[in-house]
């Protein structure tokens, strides 16, 4: 496939929290589909730079930006640097997120604030900043969770609440941006094999019986859903969401 026939040729994307796991898979897939890609990371500088090198080997522009998703100033600065480095911004993927599991009665205020600041306020701030640059016909895609629709096990009440907030935010923003043909959608992963929730980890035994497809998902499978929503074939899909959860929500 030549560069001119790639579905995202000429597009510029920013993927937050993309040094590893789902975010890294998304960034790589968007680059394979033709996009230049900026990624943010908090601490994993070496992994972020390795991903940038991999994207550049595909012939795309790429940049890694250190930014704490809980910091409004860092989020706004990441958008500005993306535009400066890539020459614009067409696709925003709000991937950065944090989960602190545990009984609600035992969560500290700091743990609650962290999840709210990254998973909710962080998305609000960077999306608002990005909209100063995203042209008509652009894309905003947020990584939600199947837990935003139903909570399959205890210990994630606050996390689930933050992901539920993204459901309403997505629908509301889709209404606002429809006249500009900017689509706003969610991808809702279920149990995905990553460093944070490995397929051989302690949660697997309790999760696997609830799945229709009895295995953990792959980060690449989430990335494929994001790439569809970022591409021209999803121009009439907005205010919606895709579950990538092996049927745990069925």
How far apart (Å, rounded) are the C-alpha atoms in residues 199 and 204? 6
Cβ(28)–Cβ(51) under 8 Å? yes
How far apart (Å, rounded) are the C-alpha atoms in residues 81 and 59? 20
Four-residue CA torsion sign, 167, 218, 233, 1: positive
Catalytic residue of the set 41, 159, 216, 236: 159
Centre a 10 Å sphere on the Cβ of residue 17 and count the other Cβ atoms it contains. Answer: 26
Active site residue 159: yes
How far apart (Å, rounded) are the C-alpha atoms in residues 103 and 172? 31
Four-residue CA torsion sign, 70, 126, 90, 22: positive
Calculated CA dihedral for residues 37, 42, 43, 49, nearest 10 degrees: 10
Centre a 10 Å sphere on the Cβ of residue 53 and count the other Cβ atoms it contains. Answer: 11
How far apart (Å, rounded) are the C-alpha atoms in residues 37 and 85? 10
How far apart (Å, rounded) are the C-alpha atoms in residues 95 and 25? 11
Q: Which residues are tagged catalytic?
A: 159
């Amino acid at each position: 496939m030549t560069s001119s026939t790639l579905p995202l040729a000429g597009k510029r994307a920013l993927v937050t929290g993309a040094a590893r796991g789902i975010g890294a898979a998304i960034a790589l897939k968007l680059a394979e589909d033709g996009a230049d890609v900026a990624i943010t990371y908090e601490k994993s500088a070496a992994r972020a730079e390795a991903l940038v090198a991999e994207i550049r080997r595909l012939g795309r522009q790429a940049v890694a930006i250190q930014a704490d998703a809980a910091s409004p100033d860092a989020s706004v600065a990441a958008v500005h640097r993306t535009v400066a480095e890539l020459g614009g911004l067409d696709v925003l993927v709000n991937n950065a997120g944090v989960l602190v599991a545990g009984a609600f009665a035992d969560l500290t205020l700091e743990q609650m604030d962290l999840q709210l600041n990254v998973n909710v306020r962080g998305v609000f701030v960077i999306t608002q900043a990005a909209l100063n640059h995203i042209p008509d016909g652009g894309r905003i895609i947020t990584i939600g969770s199947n837990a935003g629709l139903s909570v399959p096990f205890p210990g994630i009440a606050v996390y689930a609440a933050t992901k539920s907030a993204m459901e309403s935010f997505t629908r509301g923003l889709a209404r606002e941006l429809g006249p500009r043909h900017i689509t706003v959608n969610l991808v809702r992963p279920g149990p995905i094999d990553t460093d944070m929730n490995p397929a051989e980890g302690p949660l697997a035994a309790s999760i696997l019986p609830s799945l229709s497809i009895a295995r953990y998902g792959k980060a690449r499978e989430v990335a494929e859903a994001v790439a569809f929503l970022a591409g021209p074939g999803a121009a009439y899909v907005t205010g919606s969401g895709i579950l990538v959860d092996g049927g745990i929500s069925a």
